[in-house]
A and B are shown apart, each in its own frame.
Chain A
Amino acid sequence: MIQANLLNKHAGRIVLSQLLVLLALMVPLFAGMSVGMAGVIVSDYEASHALAVPSMVLLLCWLCRADISIALAAQRGSYWGVAFILLGLLMYAMLSWPFAFGYPKRLSLIPLIAGVILAIGGWRLLRLSVVMLLLVAVAIPIGTRYYAFAVIKPETMTLAICARLLDVLPGVMVAGKGLDLTYVYQGAEGPIALGEPFRGASMLLAYLTLCIFVAGARIRPWWQLVVLAGIAIPVVLFCNLLRLFVFGLVTIYGATGSVSTAPRVAATIISLVFCYILFGLLTWSLGQVIVVDGQASSVEG
């Protein structure tokens, strides 16, 4: 039955060509901006998670190909797509003139892409694309000042908690002052995460990207997406804390010196793998829960 509703190859090619043509029409609007964004993504490791986003989106498309095919076969494009595109263009125009807000202007890409998807495949396809759109939104480099302002509280808390955790380790004394953490261990002293621009709130968007990808690897009901969105925030904050803690551990016990990249590499790898496993487990656990008569209950197997 499902096979009968799948889109045939020819129709699939038509949809793909429509998508490419409409996206190509957006190039003159975003070409300059894209070059700037690419520069940031390549040079700033806080934005480097964006490098993985195209592969993630393609992989999600592949994983959801049957659903996408059914959605395209079952529904035609919607005129609401044009409304979304107009909204995106209005946002783009207003944030170019009279106002000049770089990051929100870059975000106008999202309603435009959503409008293109809606015009081609209707609401069902847009619903399937929400996770991919979120990935694109998270990949858009956020302005340093917006980020710095947004992370004030989590960064302050993370630095304070991490200082306390490291301080209880045997023979280690750690003190925090503003954004700096300094340690004393076996007569040696030094800074932790020296030179990191956001040492208490680094790679938050990388963890978030990973969470979105894990959540989107399967088609889920809305309630699960809402629950996962709620879970993702503490997971992201916890992985951030873990990252700084590991950074501190390797710096202190590894006696790596303040200019070594080893603590950063170790902390990054460990925290990313931990984030993937933790969120994967939570997502899997949620998958074991079904809604029966409006009540969530756990099922065996």
Chain B
Amino acid sequence: MTRRLETVGRYFPVPVLAAGIVLLAASLGLPSMLNWLDIRFEKKPIEIRKTLMNFEFENFASFSPVPQTDHFNVPAEVPGIETDEWIHLTYDFNTAASTRPRDRQVLLLLSYYSDPRDKVSHTPEVCYRQAGWTLNDISAVTVAVGGLTGAPVIQARLLDFEHDGSGVVVLYIFVSNGRFYADRERMRLAIGMPGDRHVYYAKIETVARFFKPQDREAAVERCRRLLAEAIVPMVQRYLPEDERARDRYPGLF
């Protein structure tokens, strides 16, 4: 017996044996355990409260809707949008200094997803480039959610593109299970967090064009203002109700 153990010990020293036992146990048990967890804690989709098609009837303090335009040739991701709940609207910034429509308009793109197996929607920094847009910069800006007491200041992702001889700024955020995210991967992490039984996420995106470098700031401001104002009806009337979000952002959700 001792000799046998010695032989085993020679062929499989203790660290190797320990590694083998751990790997064997993992190979036998881990896949089925993960499968069980996946089924046991499977997340369910949740319906949007009101279809985003109704968003065109929403009023904003600083913007008026304008008839559908060419959306500044925004690729708009429609072929790969992977949801039926989306809308693209164009607005006119009421207090813009310029009288030319191109210096006043902002595009609002909204989409809603609720399939737990979704890998999170396409993002403009990757997709718009494939439509001939040149991405010059990625940065972050803060957005104070419009006009509410104790409303949060959230971070949004700002993209600087060049397209058809003009500059384009794109500002977007994700809202998922009552939280705001500027980063797709962070939101994917959040979606996976155990605890929530349902899962949803929405993307709120604003796009504005500018033709002179000095007009960029005004374009960013238009995007920021529309994003700040659009968040309010979106979370209050469209996205699913969430008790915890209400505690987290009193007055907003």
Residues of A within 8 A of B (CB): 14, 17-18, 21-22, 25-29, 76-79, 81-82, 85-86, 89, 92-93, 96-101, 112, 115-116, 118-120, 145, 148-149, 152, 156, 176-180
Contact = CB atoms under 8 A, between A and B. Distances in A.
Interface of A is mostly: helix
B22 A156 contact: no
A256 B221 CA distance: 48
Contacts of B192: 98-100
B20 A25 contact: yes
B19 A98 contact: no
B38 interface: yes
B18 A82 contact: yes
Contact of A152 (B37, B125, B132, B188): B125
Nearest to B120: A145
Nearest to B164: A177
30 contacts: A14-B10, A18-B12, A25-B23, A26-B23, A26-B27, A29-B30, A76-B13, A79-B18, A81-B19, A89-B30, A98-B193, A99-B192, A101-B188, A112-B23, A119-B15, A120-B16, A120-B19, A145-B126, A149-B126, A152-B125, A152-B129, A152-B135, A156-B136, A177-B134, A178-B130, A178-B131, A178-B132, A178-B134, A179-B129, A180-B132
Given A98-B194, A115-B19, A156-B135, A29 B26 contact: yes
A179 B22 CA distance: 48
B13 A17 contact: no
Task: State which size class the interface on B falls in.
Answer: 35 or more
A82 B23 CA distance: 9
A119 B189 contact: no
Contacts of A148: 126
Given A97-B38, A116-B19, A25 B126 contact: no
A112 B22 CA distance: 11
Contacts of A93: 30, 34
B27 A156 contact: no
Given A115-B19, A119-B19, A89 B26 contact: yes
Nearest to B26: A89
B31 interface: yes
B129 A178 contact: yes
Contacts of B131: 178
Q: Which 3 A-B pairs have the closest CB atoms?
A: A178-B132, A77-B15, A99-B192
Nearest to A28: B27
B113 interface: no
B126 A152 contact: yes
B16 A77 contact: yes
Interface in B111-143: 119, 125-126, 129-136, 138
Given A25-B27, A99-B192, A101-B188, A178 B15 contact: no
Contacts of B136: 156
A82 B17 CA distance: 10
Kindly name the residue among B15, B136, B194 whose own CB sees the greatest number of chain A CB atoms within 10 A. B15
B24 interface: yes
B41 interface: yes
A82 B20 CA distance: 9
B156 to A, nearest CB: 17
Given A149-B126, A156-B135, A178-B134, A28 B31 contact: yes
B134 A85 contact: no
A81 B11 contact: no
